[in-house]
Each structure stands twice: as C-alpha cells, then as structure tokens.
Amino acid sequence: MKKLVYLLFVILAFCFLLPTAYYLLPTSLHAQPGWSEDQRLVFMQGAGWYPRAACSGDTIHLVWYRVGGGYDGEVYYKRSTDAGLTWGADVRLSEEDEQSSIVPIVFCNGLIVYVFWAEEDFGTLFRKSIDGGTTWGAIDSSLQGEFYRDVFIVNDTIFLAGARNPGDIIFRKSTDAGMSWLPLRVVGYGAYVRHAVSPPVIGFVFQVARYSQEIMFKRSTDNGNTWPDSMIISHYDSIGGQWAVIDVDTFSNMHAGWYDYKYSPYAWTGDIFYRTSRDSGSTWEEIDSLTIMHRAVASDILAEGSNLHLVWEDDRHGFNNNFEIYYRMSTDLGQTWGSEVRLTDALYHSYCPSLACGSGYLHLFWQDRREYGNNGSSAPLYYKRKSLSGSVTETNKLGLISNLMFNVYPNPFETDVRLQITDDRYKEIENIKIFDVSGKEVMVYEMKQKEKEIRVDCKDLPAGVYFLQVEAGKERVIKKVVKVK
C-alpha cells in the first residue's frame, strides 16, 4: 500500500512539474540551422527593455533599461569579448534616483564606446568609455530638452537623430567627439525616428500622425547642413504605418522597414513592409510585403555585406498571449528574400528584437517572459547568434586586420575589373579569387606576371554582387564589387 501511494505521488509530481519546467528551460523546438540556442543574459529582477548592441571585432556592447522590481528605469550595460560565448557583469550607467532613465542607444568605434539615454524631465545624457567598456567617464548632461533614439559615429563626428516636444524631429552633430555640439536642427514633425548614415548622406525615417501615421523619409546630402522636403515612403492611405527602421549598406543603398495594418483583419497587428532606395534615397523601389499572416509588429533590419537581416515580433501563436521572434534574410540586398524562420518557441511573450553584427556572427537580443508569464514584473533579456561563415563577408565585418592595400575600379563595372596594388606586397600574390554572394568560388585569376596593376576579365559573369579576394602571405583582403549589364 505504501508503495502504491508513493507511486501515485511521483506521478502527480511529475505531471505538475513537467509543464512548469517547460518555462524554466531554454526551448528550441524548431530547427534553426546556423543559430545557437537561446541564452538568458540578465538575471536581475525587473524587465529588460529596448536592448541595443554594437560590435567591434569579437567585442559586443549591449545596453538596455530596467523597470519593475522596485525600479522606475535605470540604464545598464554588459559586454562579451568573445563574440557572445561568455558575458561580463551587468553595469549600471545611469544614476539611481527618482528620475527614470530609459531607451539607451550605443555605438562603438574601436575601443571608444558611447551610450546615450533619455532622462525623465531632463533630456539626453551620455557616457563614454575609451577602453572598450572597461571603465566609464562621467555622465554628460549637455543635451537638455532633447531625446534621441539613434546614433552613428564616424571618427570624431557624432550624428544623433531624435525628437522633442511637441513633436519635432531633431538632428544634432558633434565634430569633436561630443566635447561640443553644433546648433540643433529641426528636420520634420513626427515620432519614432531612426536614421542611416553614409557620409555625406544622412537618411531619416519617422512616423507622422498628420498623414494617417504614414512613414516619412528625409535626407541630407551634405552631412546634415541642409534638409530638403520629406517624402512619404509607405502607402499613403487611411491606415497607418508604424515603427520605422532603416539601415544603409556599403553601397549607400537605403533599406527601410515598418509594419502596417492595411491587409490585417486584426486591430493591433499587421504585416512587415520593406522598401529600398538604390541611389542613396533619391528614388525608392516598389513596396514589398514580407509577411502574410497579419500578426506582425515591431521589427529591426540590418545590412551586412550583400545580406539583409530582418527580425520581427509575431503573434500568430496564441493571439495576444504569445508573441514570438521571426526572421528573414536576403542575400541580394533586398531583391529576393528567403523563407521565414521562427527563432523563439516558448510560451508567453518574446519581443523587442534587436540585431547587431560582428566577427562573422549575427547577434539577436530580445526580451522574454517565458519564466514569469505575461503578467509578471520580470522579463529578462535573451540572446542567440547566427554564424555567417556560410557566406563571404567583407574584411571590416570579419574583424580581420591587414596592411595589404589595393584599389578596385571601376566599381560597378561592365566587363572587366582592375586592381591597383599600392605597396610592394604584389610580389607575394599568387592569385585573385572571386566569390558570389553565397560564398561559392566562381573565378580564379592566376598571377602569371607580378604586376602592380591587374586587369581581370569578368565578361562571362552574370550581373550581380561579387567579392574579390586577394591574399599575400598570411594576409587576406576581401572587397565587394558589382557587375552591371
């Protein structure tokens, strides 16, 4: 009799604990070739909102803001120095006071790291690290009354995109690493601004209520000195587009995304739309809808080499109870898109997806409620990465360092491409290899004569994007070229 009672107890305990354990373990039920398993990054109480990351080689700099658990809003930072395998401790960057610190943004340039965030009733604060995030300088409070949602840095020049009451879209620039700031520029009226910078071109996307919440684009072609009129890049109708994102590739093509309810029978979810400009924002190609289930909302987009990566929140599983993160990739800069991939598979919400790229990996961060439920006060940050080793990526994306220098011209080209080696290392070059966007080797040019100027006949290659690889000794340099016609 005792054995029977014990057995019944074990069975009941198993039935009770099994579903509970489901929430406690990282879940990866759907096949995700090339992606790592879900990894919880933050273990403090409260929710980790709005993760943003920046990469420099193997180092990843991650920021977010914490609410709940007795906190009104504080900005935190952590880093990985081995491309996401291990992570350091959480570091609070904001001051713990009655003011909420929210919506951080981060950018790095080698060992220089900047983190900006919004401070309630004040404006924007920022801190700077000059040793790769090991130590941080004092909080700078020179941007009072201004709130920024995006940052881009080139050498000592900082570009900021943001907004201020009662709805002005604003632009700020510093040419001395944030020591001083040029006058504020009001470039439009709206909200939720993001920008893409490819000097001297700066492109803004933002949401405007007076145009039925449509997505606007505005650009400067002189590093922000002048701003011509805005243009609507979403469908101009009575149904609003929201949460615009944008990135720029190495050819200065602009890639914009947003979500829109126009085809959706649901009140609060819709589809992800995409549009590209291949002339730095002068003209835009036709709008493409990248989802069809009508359950998508906030997204993020990232350009890497010839690839575009898109992630978004999707509520097709459970309807208003189980948002999951989905992913699509284009290997030809948005001309065609691969199949969608479900990246998270756990009960309760997975949302706020954010992308970064470095050291041959695509890094994804998001907020997840799998342990605590949708009504809980905690929603920690999760992370996973995707290997990009299956495709050829440019030198600066791989974090390779080389002293071998050469120029490629013309680019784009029609029949042949020419290389000009700018140092004496040309004597060490044995061949020049050309790869397509999938990483397949399509041509090898043997160096029969050691010359500083080389002409490679490519007339038999179809039009498209290619990667040209030159090796000298143990050093390798890869440059992107485009064949037209």
Task: Quote the pLDDT of residue 27.
Answer: 42
Which of 101-105, 204-208, 453-457 has the highest average model confidence (pLDDT)?
A: 101-105
pLDDT at site 376: 79
Q: 245: pLDDT confidence band, cut at 50, 70 and 90? A: very high
323: pLDDT strictly greater than 90: yes
Beta carbons of 319 and 328 less than 8 angstroms apart: no
* Three-state DSSP class for residue 234: coil
> Among candidates 229, 225, 227, 226, which has minimal Cα distance to 208?
229
* CATH number belonging to domain 38-394: 2.120.10.10
- Per-residue pLDDT averaged across 379-403, rounded? 63
Q: Does the structure show a pLDDT above 50 at 254?
A: yes
Write down the domain spans for the chain: 38-394, 402-483
- What kind of fold does domain 402-483 have according to CATH? Immunoglobulin-like (2.60.40)
The overall average pLDDT reported for the chain is 85
The answer on pLDDT for 422 being more than 70 is: no
pLDDT at 240 over 90: no
- Return d(Cα 351, Cα 348) in angstroms, integer: 10
Q: Give the residue, 58 or 412, on which the prediction is more confident.
A: 58
Which tens digit of pLDDT belongs to each residue from 7-36? 443 333 433 333 333 333 444 444 477 899
For residue range 449-477, list pLDDT tens digits in order.
777 788 889 988 988 878 888 877 666 77
pLDDT at 69: 65
**Bond prior to 199 in cis (omega within 30° of 0):** no
Percent of the chain with pLDDT over 70: 86
pTM of model > 0.85: no
* 170 contacts 146 by C-beta, under 8 angstroms: yes
